[in-house]
Amino acid sequence: MPAMKASRHAGHSNSHGRRKWSASVDTESTYPREGLFNQNASTIARELASKKVSPKGPSSGMRMLTFYINRAGKNLPESRLKILESAKRMLHARIEKSKRVA
């Protein structure tokens, strides 16, 4: 019988007994400043598109925003979700603009 690998998600489980992959995410990338996702949509989009936060481009910022929304899940109030979704649309427009320029 082949040896079993230890789960990289050990100790992280939800109410259904399944492990949450997002609880174990650890990265060495850049991070948005503290409290950024509590700002208005245009500030969120602008900062996530900046080279300081997303040196690989605005697509990296979009991944950070999407991850934040997914990680917050049901705990995210509807009013906050609307603001974050608006920031996603603004960030998407920046991504499309940067593709046309390049």
State if pTM tops 0.85: no
For residues 53 and 47, what is the distance between their CA atoms, to the nearest angstrom? 7
The pLDDT tens digits of the residues spanning 72-96 come to: 988 999 999 999 999 999 999 999 9
Domains in the chain: how many in total? 1
DSSP 8-state symbol, 7: P
Q: Is position 21 within any domain?
A: no
Range of the domain at 88: 34-101
**Contact status, residue 88 vs residue 62, Cβ threshold 8 Å:** yes
Cα torsion 94, 44, 71, 81: sign: negative
Query: Which parts of the chain have pLDDT scores under 70?
Result: 1-17, 19-23, 25-30, 102
H helices within 1-102, ranges in order?
A: 41-49, 58-72, 78-101
Q: Is position 77 within any domain?
A: yes
Q: Is position 44 within any domain?
A: yes
